[in-house]
Amino acid sequence: MTTAMIGYNTKYRIWDSTLTVPAFVEIAEVINVTPGAATADRIDATHMQSPGRRREYIAGLIDTGEASFEINWVPGNGTDELLRRLMASGAVEQHEIEFPNGVTVSYDAALTGYEKDIPLDDKMTATITVAVSGEDTWGEAA
């Protein structure tokens, strides 16, 4: 039997160090989350005596990449104010995704994009892109 699940009840939180008592703030009305995709550099280490006249490679640095999430955008609400403040400051804050089964992934990131979509005949949305810095940390199911 499958153990697949839907994304319903996934939560996205960002640490807000500007609060009187700093804490995670849950982002309101998240409709889609795309965790970062790590990639590793491939470094050519071929030399004049490489076996079989073949190229040789070694692993390079890992880039945790970008993550993004989409929200139902409500201008001026608490989520909008937090995101605008983070975008303006360039601050690197801790971000956390909690999946429906309680597993979490957290990473430090800075907002690099806050794109709003205001259609005539549909809900307003925004796509937020973040640049992940360093390694992500995975928790276990609750």
Q: What pLDDT does residue 29 have? A: 98
**What is the spatial distance between Cα 62 and Cα 65, in angstroms, rounded to a whole number?**
9
The CATH fold of domain 11-138: Factor Xa Inhibitor (4.10.410)
Q: How far is CA 135 from the centre of its chain?
A: 12
Residue 142 pLDDT greater than 90, yes or no: no
Distance CA 64, CA 61 (A): 10
* pLDDT for residue 36: 84
Structure tokens at 142: 């609750």
Does residue 70 contact residue 32 with C-beta atoms inside 8 Å? Answer: yes
Contact 22, 15 (CB under 8 A): yes
Prediction pTM value: 0.90
| pLDDT tens column, 4-17 | 999 999 999 999 99
pLDDT at 118 over 80: yes
3-state secondary structure of 91: coil
Query: What is the H or E stretch that residue 80 is in?
Result: helix 78-89
Task: Give the model confidence (pLDDT) of 34-91 as tens digits.
Answer: 998 899 999 999 999 999 999 999 999 999 999 999 999 999 999 999 999 999 999 9
